Structure 1
């Protein structure tokens, strides 16, 4: 083994032993965060509309309900439209006094778009889904954790790159390198899985690591590409109202209508209300052909007093650097590649765990810490088939029991409802 390969092997090994657990933590939390909204709705069924009927209420009425529920919160609010007809409108308040000293903990108000009912008012980080998301972005250590995650992204790039270098077998043995020998012992199986799954997921892992590093330190790449204020979460230039206050401010619906006048086929995804007397509306529009992302790149600023358009950010006029920066967040979340991309990203987030375990088993075997053993699938197959058959039988029995229990409960509820109706009529 030459000196260069030995050096790369030690770097790969030390990074795995030193940061492997953190890579696993970021991968698992990232996988769950891909479906953060779906997870939140699963854990909180009240956040879904069971039978949506009709259309959404006007945004001004939605905002009036939010202000009535939170009369002491001044400044800008951000209304985020649901991705499906069963979802809630989420209204964000960035700096609530209850969590003012925390790194990031805005107020999230969930509003039924059909009734304007305030379903929930929660703080970021106080729910299971956002807690997992914070674990992924800053390990629950605030600014220090945010910077640490950025460094871990850089180390993951090194780890994946060294792994690819050590794996590369040459074109002549490329197909052979993906062979998995299940009858050569547990350690060999672990090594083959590590050698196969690592390169298979390396491209996406490198993309996730690179975009994650940029999200932690956005100014580095933005400065290099001349694309300041273009990244995820950037509000863009500070656009203020130039019209004199007249006591007749433009409403939300009117501001959105004005913004869509430039892009008549676009869908409004987010709108930020004016902050202060000189504030403006900021409307995010999703245009046909765009990915279904939470933060579309098309932005329109509308004057709150005159209703005139003050500024437009049109992706068709972006420079190459601006386009690249604006796509980093959708690349990191998988949103840029649709539902398939999000699922692939979810699966790739599990790979650090698989690679960590298989690499650790191989390393322990090489050190003599664990002994190898043969895996004979011919003896395992009948056991697996019997276990699967037993599982199917138990599942069928369980389903029958659930149906019987549900039928009994339904009959009892109908009888109780009839009894209550008679009591009410009497």
Structure 2
């Protein structure tokens, strides 16, 4: 490999790392925490996920939805999530009169509210906001997106720098000489484990770009469907004015109708639009599949509950199917705990990269400074 080329790559790798190191540290650290979000949250807040006693029959969801609306002054329900697991509570998200998004955990057998918390005060909501936006809104989203893109370039340039000039030196590049000086161990750790985690970190980084840049998501659809146009996930609501008709067991009927359409075992979520344009979307996740995020959709009139359209998973475009896999791939959930553990480990290693990289740079600067002093003396 050309010496000048590798020197230029090293220069690029160095300054990209120095410019994005802090953001990479934050994003990698929060990302490693989010890998096990469900497990950690369920352990710390069991009342939000488990019912203490199983009942004989679950109540219609409308009974406790109506009770919550009156007691907590709810102005808009956003989502109602039910689970196939009989031990799981029902999770309801809504907006109250103070315009705060609030999450409720409800016992489906008794209708009792087990716990409630505002979205913005939930620990993992803060971690996710820090991970995606640095708690800076759209500006933070752009910064993390650019840092993610820089990290992709750093991974590629780092791989080039790792590649030995001669094959006989390959064995040396694949191990850490733990008995050497701290400086050598630090360099080996940065370089060697950087190589071992290269492929997984590259996948995590590339999939992460989906949430930062529309052009990247459009590229996915272009490759899969031959067009950058993303199929709309929304269906317009035909009824524009609420007829104030009988809405007894309205939401429960939506769950029942969706179950009759999609007979597989699955968790079901009702998404209720806050506007008067879009219809209600009911998503049923297929738990009988080995790969996560395979779900089918049914659309219902927001006011009458009439079935408007169905979108079975099989009818989705290739682009939509690939897009559905982005999240479980990015979080390491694609094949359960084996890939989650792997994602957790490489994310923790990514946390160390800005630190070990900075130490390598400081070590070289110090060496250069000492050499100058010797020349002057």
State the distance in 1 between where 2:88 and 2:52 align.
11
- 1:285-322 deviations in Å (ceiling 9; x for gaps): 112215344xx542111235665431222232233222
- Cα distance change, pair 291–108 in 1 and its aligned pair in 2 (3 A): farther
Q: CA deviation at 1:266?
A: 3.9
- Cα distance change, pair 237–46 in 1 and its aligned pair in 2 (3 A): closer
State the distance in 2 between where 1:177 and 1:3 align.
21
Aligned to 1:131: 126
Aligned to 2:208: 212
- 1:213-240 deviations in Å (ceiling 9; x for gaps): 211223552375246556xxxx822331
Aligned to 1:177: 173
- Cα distance change, pair 50–297 in 1 and its aligned pair in 2 (3 A): closer
- Cα distance change, pair 175–253 in 1 and its aligned pair in 2 (3 A): farther
Give 3-state SS (helix, strand or coil) of 1:204's partner.
helix
Query: 2:139 aligned with 1:141, yes or no?
Result: no
Give 3-state SS (helix, strand or coil) of 2:93's partner.
strand
When normalised by structure 2's length, the TM-score is 0.83
State the distance in 1 between where 2:58 and 2:26 align.
40
Query: 2:255 aligned with 1:259, yes or no?
Result: no
- 1:40-98 deviations in Å (ceiling 9; x for gaps): 34443543436341354332223223223333413x420123585554322123x6564
Aligned to 1:299: 297
Structure 2 residues not aligned, in runs of 5+: 369-377
Structure 1 residues not aligned, in runs of 5+: 100-104, 371-426
- Cα distance change, pair 261–34 in 1 and its aligned pair in 2 (3 A): same
Aligned to 1:387: none
Q: CA deviation at 1:27?
A: 0.5
Match of 1:110 among 105, 110, 118: 105
State the distance in 2 between where 1:98 and 1:307 align.
28
Give 3-state SS (helix, strand or coil) of 1:337's partner.
coil
State the distance in 2 between where 1:240 and 1:148 align.
37
- 1:242-283 deviations in Å (ceiling 9; x for gaps): 599471346222212212222211413311246577764311
Q: Which stretch shows the higher mean deviation, 239-248 or 8-17?
A: 239-248
Any residues of structure 2 matched to 1:1-400 within 5 Å, and which? 2-49=3-50, 51-54=52-55, 56-74=58-76, 76-81=77-82, 86-93=87-94, 98=98, 106-169=101-164, 173-218=169-214, 220-222=216-218, 225=222, 226=227, 228=229, 236-241=233-238, 245=243, 247-249=245-247, 251-273=250-272, 280-287=279-286, 288-289=288-289, 291-293=291-293, 296-303=294-301, 307-368=305-366
Report the RMSD for the aligned CA atoms in angstroms: 3.0
- 1:178-212 deviations in Å (ceiling 9; x for gaps): 12212222211112111221121122211221122
- Cα distance change, pair 275–190 in 1 and its aligned pair in 2 (3 A): closer
Contact 1:77–1:92 (CA under 8 A) maintained in structure 2: yes
Give 3-state SS (helix, strand or coil) of 1:239's partner.
coil
Give 3-state SS (helix, strand or coil) of 1:368's partner.
helix
**Which one scores higher on RCO, CA 8 angstroms, separation ≥ 6?**
2
Contact 1:229–1:237 (CA under 8 A) maintained in structure 2: no
Contact 1:259–1:302 (CA under 8 A) maintained in structure 2: no
- 1:106-147 deviations in Å (ceiling 9; x for gaps): 322222333322233322231322222211111111111112
State the distance in 2 between where 1:52 and 1:172 align.
64
State the distance in 1 between where 2:290 and 2:306 align.
26
State the distance in 1 between where 2:210 and 2:333 align.
17
Pairs aligned (count): 357
State the distance in 1 between where 2:304 and 2:160 align.
61
Task: Give 1 or 2 for the bigger CA radius of gyration.
Answer: 1
Q: Which stretch shows the higher mean deviation, 178-187 or 116-125?
A: 116-125
State the distance in 1 between where 2:123 and 2:246 align.
42
